[in-house]
Chain A
Amino acid sequence: MAEENQNGCLIVGEGVVLSGKFSVPDVASISGKIDGELSAREIIVGTTGVLNGKITADVMDVRGEVHQDLVSNKSLLIRSSGRVTGTISYVELEIEKGGDIHGTLVKLENKTVG
């Protein structure tokens, strides 16, 4: 996340609690807590990050928790510390050993995966 260009990025630090609807054009890096709707090109959920609500992203990397509704249009990676519950729609999925996933998985037809 040490990207020089932080245009269109959202960084939520640990301890920060947000609720509402968020639309992030680029990368959202979440170590705090978000309730509501979040869409971004890429979402990185840190170990302390918690997302509740409808989450949409192309690329997702989950080390923390994601609950309810998750849509990943490109790739979804759940790390060993990740916890995901709810309805999970994905194109490409990877779960590391120890990753916790609970709910319904829906495979989306890949439109743009090359």
Chain B
Amino acid sequence: MFSKKKVENEGNTLLKTDSDQSPSEIDIREEAARGTRGQAMNMHPPKIIKPSIVSEGFEFIGDINKTNGPLNVDGTISGNITVDSISIGVNGVVSGVIVARSINVKGKLSGKIFCTEIVVGGLSTVEGELTYSSITIQRGGVFKGDLHNAKAGTAKQDDGLGEIDISQFLPNTGQAETDDVLPGAVTQQDGHGADAPDK
């Protein structure tokens, strides 16, 4: 590889002018492809976010926080994981507290799981406590443990799991901080109006 480059640099100085032009062209093309040029950005807000990949043979212990974009796991992860969507491959093993909008399991998943949508593949194993809105278990998929439907609402309240609101992991729900309403504003109603009609 290096030798090739050398030859190019030495011999083809003329080509330099071409290569100087090309980056700008590429930039334009890339921008167009991403839709990030000017107003286009507002028109097409969702972009394809590249997945984060934990490949086979990689073992990770710790917390993961990734509020957008997928996480693909073929290795081993244990810890608290908060992601938009997680996909666990055939060789993937994930354990811990998992909060995600969408989960796709082909390997092994265990722990305390909160999600809007989960698909448990035919050869996969899920263990632990799962709170979900929508579940699909393909034939042969194994689930051991407790299942709660978040839609039912009861699960959240009864189990005290309400602190974790799954809906916050839905896309397009920005982390808008709740506007604190001034307490005084509501209580500022005065009773003066009642006096006026008396006169």
B145 within 8 A of A: yes
B147 within 8 A of A: yes
Q: How many angstroms between the C-alpha atoms of A99 and B134 in the bound complex?
A: 7
Contact B144 A93 (CB under 8 A): no
Majority-rule SS of A interface residues:
strand
Contact B142 A107 (CB under 8 A): yes
Contact B143 A96 (CB under 8 A): no
Q: Which residues in chain A, 9-44, are within 8 Å of chain B measured between CB atoms?
A: none
Interface size, A (range): 10 to 19
Q: How many angstroms between the C-alpha atoms of A69 and B146 in the bound complex?
A: 14
Contact B134 A104 (CB under 8 A): no
Residue of B119, B136, B137, B151 with most partner-chain A CB within 10 A:
B137
A58 within 8 A of B: no
Residues of A within 8 Å of B146, CB to CB, are: 103-105
Contact A94 B139 (CB under 8 A): yes
Q: How many angstroms between the C-alpha atoms of A2 and B146 in the bound complex?
A: 37
Contact A97 B149 (CB under 8 A): no
Number of B interface residues in the complex (CB < 8 A): 20
Contact A94 B141 (CB under 8 A): yes
Neighbour of B149 across the interface among A77, A100, A105, CB < 8 A: A100
Q: Which residues in chain A, 62-114, are within 8 Å of chain B measured between CB atoms?
A: 75, 77, 92-107
Q: Which residues in chain B, 135-166, are within 8 Å of chain A measured between CB atoms?
A: 135-149, 151-152, 155
Q: How many angstroms between the C-alpha atoms of A106 and B141 in the bound complex?
A: 13
A102 and B152 contact, Cβ closer than 8 Å, known pairs A95-B136, A97-B134 = yes
A94 and B138 contact, Cβ closer than 8 Å, known pairs A102-B152, A103-B147 = yes
Contact B149 A98 (CB under 8 A): no
Neighbour of B139 across the interface among A92, A106, A107, CB < 8 A: A92
A92 and B140 contact, Cβ closer than 8 Å, known pairs A101-B149, A102-B155 = yes
Neighbour of B137 across the interface among A93, A98, A104, CB < 8 A: A93
Q: How many angstroms between the C-alpha atoms of A100 and B131 in the bound complex?
A: 12
B93: min CB distance to chain A, Å:
18
Contact A101 B141 (CB under 8 A): no
Residues of A within 8 Å of B155, CB to CB, are: 102
Contact B142 A95 (CB under 8 A): no
Q: How many angstroms between the C-alpha atoms of A75 and B152 in the bound complex?
A: 26
Q: How many angstroms between the C-alpha atoms of A106 and B137 in the bound complex?
A: 14
B154: min CB distance to chain A, Å:
8
Residues of B within 8 Å of A98, CB to CB, are: 134
Q: How many angstroms between the C-alpha atoms of A30 and B2 in the bound complex?
A: 74
Q: How many angstroms between the C-alpha atoms of A103 and B137 in the bound complex?
A: 15
Residues of B within 8 Å of A105, CB to CB, are: 143-147
Residue of A92, A93, A96, A99 with most partner-chain B CB within 10 A:
A93
Q: Which 4 A-B pairs have the closest CB atoms?
A: A95-B137, A94-B139, A97-B136, A102-B149
Known: A94-B140, A98-B134, A107-B143. 8 other contacts (CB 8 A): A92-B139, A93-B142, A93-B143, A95-B136, A97-B134, A101-B135, A103-B147, A104-B147
